[in-house]
Amino acid sequence: MVKTKIKLKTELEYFKSVKSDLISTHEGKFALIKGKKLIGVYKKQKTAYLKGLKELGETQFLIKQVAKEEKPESVPTITHNLICASL
């Protein structure tokens, strides 16, 4: 059996642990998390991303919308060149 390592596992676990507190004060905004630290909460996802680049550099960090119910994310694979189509 092959075990896969979950990227940003620490950040996701931390987000889950503070989610209810964040919902009460920041619902609908975007949390920027690195490790077990909340860097900040922002109105726009783009602002959180740019702040992450500025504060943390080109490393992995988590940006997660603060919401009671999570909506599934959908990213078309063609956008990221994960598939190749030939006619």
pTM of structure: 0.76
* pLDDT in the model for residue 55: 94
Question: Once rounded to an integer, what is the mean pLDDT over residues 53-81?
Answer: 80
Q: How many CA atoms lie within 13 A of 84 on its CB side?
A: 1
The β-bridge partners of 33 are: 38, 62
The pair of structure tokens assigned to 30 is 């975007």
More confident residue, 3 or 19: 19
Q: What is the pLDDT of residue 73?
A: 65
